[in-house]
Amino acid sequence: MDNWGLGEIDPVDKHFLHATYQGSRGEQEDGYNRHLGNISIGDKSPLLKFFSVHDGHSGKETMQELEIAGEEAWDKIMKSEVTPTLNPPLNLDADPNVSFLAKFYTDAQNLLETQDNKSGAVSITALAIENKAVYFSWVGDCEGCLFLKDPSSVHPGHIYHGTHEHISTIDLAQVELRGSMPDSPPTVHIPACSIPCSLLSGMQDKLNFPRPPRPLPHGHPEHKHVFHEVEEYVDYEKIVPNYFPNAISRSEFDLVKLHLSKKKLKAPPTMDISIHKVGNAILTADARITGSIQPTRSIGDNINAKHLILRHPIVMRILFPDPIPQDLREHCHILLCSDGFFSEYAFSGLADLCKFLTDPDAFFSKSFYCRGQVLTERLIAAKLLPPGLEHEKSTGEFPLYNEWKGCKNWSEKTAFITTKHMEAVESERFKGVLEETADYNLWIDACKSSLTQLEHMWKPHLFTFVIHSIAPHMATLMGSRDNVTLVMTPVFT
């Protein structure tokens, strides 16, 4: 799986780092593809990388179909049936590479429409053309980005930013349903980072609940609320949202409405929201269109409510300036991952994952526990961590906090996770906060399995070389209850 031992290394593994972990799920529904090779275009022979991460749900059949589709797409490139362009046109919608990546997903969906396949998948694919460009194409909430893997930087793991001249995005749902893309905002520096097709972000603020919602702190300690000794999940069904603090979520919901209206379905879409109350925090556990097993977009899912799901991919193109800056050439990496890293807000987002992959020491000291992470909120509710964390002035009554903040090196940090952290999450005080224990017991088993696998990985002389393999296990130890997968490669090799 991970090629950091002795012996001959496959050429693909020299370029790609990858890791996957089943976690506490009953089945491994994640998959991935990795391909690279030189192709002949005129008198040039550039190196191409073509790779994907697929995250299945309700079974792994569709995920496996996408893996096969990835192999077939690469074969077409190698046989020159598809020839990537080295000089992309200015207009994104005229770029043959964009068309190829979009077609990869539309062809896969058209094939699956003919099958009685009950499972579905979300997916992200990257195409990297040596020294020229990187493309992302995705359907659903898998994520990808370019980031600078430079621990000496002022901002370790910084996601690469560029102007609209160099970074542009086309949403095939916007094009098909609205007839055109919205006008681009003024030229600003924007992140080379996928936009998850999801309704989850920002949904806990203002909705038409059956009763008025309380103010929601998203875990900020300065907000005072009723303290819940035992956590509670509250489901609100068939909600009509009247406010979206996140413009992307608002746009995604509007696209679903437009999609349904074009299908002549008169009833407007509503949403099912699951709110998680733990301690004094109120978090959004889930948000999706009523009747859908996916928030908005996926491949497959041949179910009764399939008309609720968008199939359209989004494609992002990142062009590199000429000449390429030295720090970009030396440190820039491409990362693709499944959303298991963000299950239960284990990692708060893609930027946090990049920070961990770049400087795990600093990440642990600052973010192993953080407000808004479900695990942290449970520890606070169990009175095992102070509600203010780093803002807390007096921590004498919280030995777990003191032990965490007192770790000085990687050996002490790993020893803390193995002992103090596990003692805390297996304690009766912690279990007393939980609404149920069935999923908890599966998660504890996954944590113990992770610790067993990590024993030979996170030794001080080794861990920086296998940090990509540690990351999925770290997500589990920080509370994730999903399959966790990543593929990572340097942009310039």
Check whether residue 335 and residue 283 sit in a common domain.
no
**Quick one: pLDDT at residue 267?**
80
* 259: pLDDT strictly greater than 60: yes
Nearest of 274, 276, 277 to residue 290 by alpha carbon: 274
CA–CA dist 365, 70 (Å, integer): 39
Bridge partners (DSSP) listed for residue 488: 17, 335
Which single residue is written with the structure tokens 């300036």?
Answer: 321
Higher pLDDT, 394 or 354: 354
52 and 167, same domain (yes or no): yes
> Does the residue 127 lie in any domain?
yes
Does residue 5 lie in a domain region?
Answer: no
Shared domain check, 285 and 251: yes
| pLDDT above 80 (res 204) | no
Domain assignment of residue 4, yes or no:
no
Q: Measured between alpha carbons, how far is 473 from 450 in angstroms, rounded to an integer?
A: 5
* Per-residue model confidence as pLDDT tens digits over 214-244: 333 333 333 444 566 799 999 999 988 877 7
Q: How confident is the model over 58-72, as a mean pLDDT?
A: 94
Mean pLDDT, to the nearest integer, of 139-161?
94
Do 382 and 264 reside in the same domain of the chain? no
Q: What percent of the chain has pLDDT over 70?
A: 88
Average pLDDT over residues 105-123: 86
- State mean pLDDT over 428-435: 96
Question: What is the mean predicted confidence (pLDDT) over 385-407?
Answer: 82
pLDDT at 286 exceeding the cut of 60: yes
Is residue 202 situated within a structural domain? yes
User: pLDDT of 290-321, one tens digit each?
Assistant: 888 777 899 988 766 667 889 999 999 999 98
In a domain, 27, yes or no: yes
Q: Is the peptide bond before 323 cis (omega within 30 degrees of 0)?
A: yes
User: Do 366 and 441 fall within a single domain?
Assistant: yes
- Residue 393: pLDDT above 70? no
Do residue 135 and residue 251 come from a single domain?
no
Return d(Cα 379, Cα 368) in angstroms, integer.
12
The parent domain of residue 215 ranges over: 198-296
| Domain identity same for 192 and 202 | no
Strands (E), 215-338: 228-239, 271-279, 281-289, 299-300, 314-319, 332-337
Do residues 278 and 343 both lie within one domain? no
Please check whether residues 154 and 30 belong to one and the same domain.
yes
Beta bridge partners of 134: 128, 318
Residue 39: which residues within 8 A CB-CB, separation 6 or more? 45, 46, 48, 77, 78, 80, 83, 84
| HSE, side-chain direction, 13 A CA sphere, residue 193 | 17
Confidence label for 210 from pLDDT (cuts 50, 70 and 90): very low
Domain shared by 179 and 207, yes or no: no
Residues 190 and 138 in one domain: yes
pTM as predicted: 0.91
Cα–Cα distance, 116 to 136 (Å, whole number):
29
| Run of H or E including 190 | strand 190-191
- Of 11-20, 91-100, 292-301, the least confident: 292-301
Compute the distance between CA of residue 41 and CA of residue 132 in angstroms, rounded to an integer: 14
pLDDT, tens digit, for every residue of 440-468? Answer: 999 999 999 999 999 989 988 888 899 99
Residue where one domain finishes, among candidates 245, 270, 296: 296
Q: What is the pLDDT of residue 184?
A: 62
Q: Are 276 and 264 in contact (CB under 8 A)?
A: no
Cβ neighbours of 257 (radius 10 Å):
14
- Report yes or no on 133 lying in a domain: yes
Is residue 2, in this structure, part of any structural domain at all?
A: no
One-letter identity of residue 30: D
| Domain final residue pick, 296, 328, 344 | 296
**Would you report the helix, strand and coil content of the chain in percent, each value rounded to 5?**
35, 25, 40
Question: Which strand ranges, in their side-by-side order, compose the sheet holding 271-279?
Answer: 228-239, 271-279, 281-289
Q: Is 409 exposed, middle or buried (0-12, 13-18, 19+ CB in 10 A)?
A: exposed
Average pLDDT of the residues in 262-287: 86
Residue 1 placed within a domain: no
Q: What is the mean pLDDT of the chain?
A: 87
So what's the pLDDT on residue 294?
77
The number of helix segments (H) and strand segments (E) in the chain equals: 15, 16
- How many domains would you assign to the chain? 3
**CATH code at 76?**
3.60.40.10
CB under 8 A, 24+ apart: contacts of 256-259:
256/289, 256/296, 256/308, 256/310, 258/177, 258/178, 259/173, 259/177, 259/310
Confidence label for 388 from pLDDT (cuts 50, 70 and 90): confident
CB 341 within 8 Å of CB 471: yes
Q: Within this chain, do residues 420 and 275 fall inside the same structural domain, yes or no? A: no
- Cα dihedral 113, 116, 118, 124 in deg (nearest 10): -30
Distance of alpha carbon 18 from alpha carbon 31, whole angstroms = 11
